[in-house]
Amino acid sequence: MSARDRKKTPTGGVEVPRSVPDRFIVAPKTLRFDRFMNSAIMFGGIGVIVAVFGIFGFILLEIAPLFESPGIKAERTVSLNALDGAHVGLDEWGEMPFSIVDETEVVFVPTAGGEAVRMIPDVGQSRAVSLRRWDADTFRLLLGTENGEVGFVEVGHVAEYSGGGVRSIEPEIDVWPWVKLGEGRVTDVHFADAGGLKLFAGLLNSGDETRLVVRSLTQEKTLMGFGDIREGEAKDLSVLLAGSRPKRLLVTSTADSLLVLTQDDEVLYLFRDGDDWELRQKFRPFGEGYRVAGMHFLFGEVSLVFFDELGNIRIHSLFVPEGGHERLFGLTKELRPLKEPILEYRASQRGKSFVVSNEREAALCYATTELVRRRFDLSFDAVSMTLDARGERLGFLDKQGDLHLFDIHDPHPEAGWKSLFARVWYEGYPGPRYIWQSTGGTDDFEPKLSLIPLILGSLKGTFYAMLFAVPIALLAAIYTSQFLKPEVKRIVKPSMEIMASLPSVVLGFLGALWLAPLIDDKVPSLMLSILAVPLAAALMGWVWGHVPISLRNRLPKGSEYLLVAPVIGCLVLAGWNLGPSLERWLFVATLADGSHVADFRLWWPEFTGLPYDQRNCLVVGFMMGFAVIPVIFTIAEDALSNVPPSLTSASEALGASRWQVVRTVVLPVASAGIFSALMIGFGRAVGETMIVVMATGNTPLMDASGHLLFGEWGLGNGQFPLADHWNVFDGMRTLSANIAVELPEAAQGSTHYRTLFLGALVLFVMTFALNTVAELLRQRLRERFQIT
């Protein structure tokens, strides 16, 4: 203040007498230091805020692309001069599209310009080809003849490198030697190659009768590769059709099952068991009376995509129904991507995306999320469509024989609100589920990225850690600050704080290797031991109350623990040793053969219907408790010790007992501080990573029925509400552990990588929201118990 006043002093030459004595004027050095510190602290403070927002912004930037809509843009038009009725194909580099009409010629045209390459497949002596079927997923032109022979021409591309490392795409053509299925005219054929087993399936027409015939080829597989191909016998499966007239065939790439679409729109699912075939299922994809216009595989061949004549799509997937024994097809998804009926369908060979089109429009869809990612109109009349294996480039052949190429940019089709936070009906599951299973060893794996099991896992882990830590830490803090002798307290407090410095990896390691096997078969012992602690304390309290005061006074104030501790120790030990007896008495399980076994691990699943696992919440709760207790203890103890002695002395002077003082004066005054201690402990527990990674199995558990929290609104799979998720004797996977376990493998920029960041954001938002509420509560507590 004075500095400013002096500056304002008028300088009229006349010395104005100072209104304050010299000794009150602050030295300029101090002021400069003051100003410097002011700005330094401000800089630091703003820096912290900027850093926090920076991290927040970085996370948001990583997450944002997950929710972007796909981009599709026209790239170029290549003149293929394709003939009428030609099929087109595109290599995965998008450099050598080709057109094929029949087995006589394949024409490759480089997109970059240059000579067209014509290749003539060597199909042997000329045959009366009765059927040509283009399999767009494998680039095979399947052929069938008038006298029951089948074969195919396969079109492929290989990348070749010259000495300088320049890449060129070389077209390739492979011809599969003719295989005889039987007598008759081939009306449809399909083929699958599962490595050791290959299968041709065909429809043979003679007169007004159509027969279904399969012929398998086997090839021995060793570690070194494949041996010679042996042709098996042709097998007539017409009996299995039970009179229905087959129209179209699909063989799964495992070569062990066959799908037959009949003339009256029924689908038969035939399954091979050793050498025999059986009819597993018969179903109508669209119900009675509706036509099936198309039947195709989705990549991975676990799902079938059907469309009707109106443009509706239905996806049927193979799964074992609830309580069933075999995998059957069931309707899982419905879509209507186009305005007009669908003519063409192409599936990506890298994921569950597919494209459908007709002459004037096309749509990119994603099967897992049941979404039409993007619908767009075409400015030409499309007669044929192709999608490259990577699902990144789309080509339409128009009536003039030109190929219109489009780029698809849709890097994260798997993400979205629905797949991240809602139930999704994945392939192979009997119903919609919340599942986290992010990676597989193959490309056709369907990523399951629900964050719900992880969020619940985090909550579960925190809950059990707090359940264990809070009573111990708070009671210890109260006892240490209010009852314990100050000399002892000076030892206890620092030792507790040293406990906080135990690295969590060590705790996790101990939990997994020592504690989990130790308490695995000693749960009853553990329960009795835990029960023994408050029991011993209460017992000693009662006894102490009946001891004559003269005797009580012999023990110095604050040294009572010397008496209680041995009793607690003895009772805990007794409880531990009585555990097996309790187990024999209470926890007896009845086995299937009627015999009885006293084993808690058997009794728990039998009694509750919930699983028992060695790496369970008890272990994690214990180990996390070790990390959380010191934090809560130290802060709570500080808050309790800082209650002004004037208050406690006053109450004691008024005749309150030590316990009355604590209960009515110390606790309310320190409540705000204790609350902060709990919140900081909570924060530690939520974010704790290494203990959870090591001591649990990282099992992203969900209620088996796929319901959130309440099972069927009240009951889980077990007999008790909520219990499925909160089962103590089971593991969990937390958000933080998930990031630690999976981030090293996630390719930068992939959906998986970004979803892990989203997990981090969810964790952040969860703690942020909770801390805000807690802070508001704390403020109220502080105002209420303010000492004036």
Please state, as a whole number, how many other Cβ atoms lie within 10 Å of the Cβ of residue 97.
Answer: 24
SS3 708: coil
Q: How far is the CB of 206 from another protein (least distance, A)?
A: 35
Sheet containing 209-222: give its strands across: 185-193, 197-206, 209-222, 225-236
Residues forming a β-bridge with 203 = 188, 212
Q: How far is the CB of 698 from another protein (least distance, A)?
A: 4
Cβ-based nearer residue to another protein, 614 or 771:
614
Residues 6+ apart with CB under 8 A from 529: 572, 575, 576, 579
Q: How far is the CB of 512 from another protein (least distance, A)?
A: 8
Q: How far is the CB of 744 from another protein (least distance, A)?
A: 5
The enclosing H or E element of 534 equals: helix 523-546
Q: How far is the CB of 267 from another protein (least distance, A)?
A: 20
Q: Which of 390, 402, 303 is nearest to 348 (CA)?
A: 390
Cβ-based nearer residue to another protein, 526 or 539:
526
Cβ-based nearer residue to another protein, 39 or 254:
254
Q: How far is the CB of 615 from another protein (least distance, A)?
A: 6
Cβ-based nearer residue to another protein, 308 or 613:
613
The DSSP code for 287 is: -
Cβ-based nearer residue to another protein, 147 or 699:
699
Under a CB-based contact definition with an 8 Å cutoff, are residues 171 and 126 in contact?
A: no
SS3 279: strand
Question: What CA–CA distances, in Å, run from 286 to 291, 313, 331, 428?
Answer: 7, 9, 9, 20
Q: How far is the CB of 732 from another protein (least distance, A)?
A: 10
Q: How far is the CB of 778 from another protein (least distance, A)?
A: 38
Cβ-based nearer residue to another protein, 590 or 779:
590
Q: How far is the CB of 301 from another protein (least distance, A)?
A: 10
Cβ-based nearer residue to another protein, 350 or 782:
350
Cβ-based nearer residue to another protein, 337 or 700:
700
Cβ-based nearer residue to another protein, 99 or 698:
698
Cβ-based nearer residue to another protein, 144 or 700:
700
What's the token pair of residue 159? 């990348």
Burial (CB < 10 A; 0-12, 13-18, 19+), residue 419, is buried
Question: What CA–CA distances, in Å, run from 539 to 510, 550, 555, 567?
Answer: 33, 20, 18, 9
722 dihedral zone (left: phi>0; alpha: psi -120 to 50; beta): left
Cβ-based nearer residue to another protein, 148 or 447:
447
Q: How far apart are CA 603 and CA 587, in angstroms?
A: 6
Cβ-based nearer residue to another protein, 270 or 629:
270
Cβ-based nearer residue to another protein, 456 or 670:
456
Q: How far is the CB of 694 from another protein (least distance, A)?
A: 8
Q: How far is the CB of 380 from another protein (least distance, A)?
A: 30
3-state per-residue secondary structure call for 160-219:
EECCCCCEEEEEEEEEEEEEECCCCEEEEEEEEECCCEEEEEEEEEECCEEEEEEEEEEE
Q: What's the distance, CA 549 to chain centroid?
A: 64
137 dihedral zone (left: phi>0; alpha: psi -120 to 50; beta): alpha
Q: How far apart are CA 754 and CA 61, in angstroms?
A: 9
Q: How far is the CB of 727 from another protein (least distance, A)?
A: 11
Q: Which of 769, 760, 742, 683 is nearest to 56 (CA)?
A: 760
Cβ-based nearer residue to another protein, 243 or 323:
323
Can you spell out the DSSP letters for 409-452? E-S-TT-SHHHHHS-B--TT-SS-B--EE---SSTT---EE-SH
Locus of tokens 């096997």? 517
Q: How far apart are CA 681 and CA 346, in angstroms?
A: 54
SS3 522: coil
Q: How far is the CB of 466 from another protein (least distance, A)?
A: 24
Q: How far is the CB of 197 from another protein (least distance, A)?
A: 12
Cβ-based nearer residue to another protein, 442 or 646:
442
The DSSP code for 23 is: G
Q: How far is the CB of 444 from another protein (least distance, A)?
A: 7
Under a CB-based contact definition with an 8 Å cutoff, are residues 212 and 238 in contact?
A: yes
Residues 6+ apart with CB under 8 A from 495: none
Residues forming a β-bridge with 258 = 251, 270
Cβ-based nearer residue to another protein, 350 or 485:
350
What's the token pair of residue 468? 């264990």
3-state per-residue secondary structure call for 125-157:
CCCCEEEEEEECCCCEEEEEECCCEEEEEEEEE
Q: How far is the CB of 154 from another protein (least distance, A)?
A: 18
Cβ-based nearer residue to another protein, 278 or 381:
278
Q: How far is the CB of 112 from another protein (least distance, A)?
A: 15
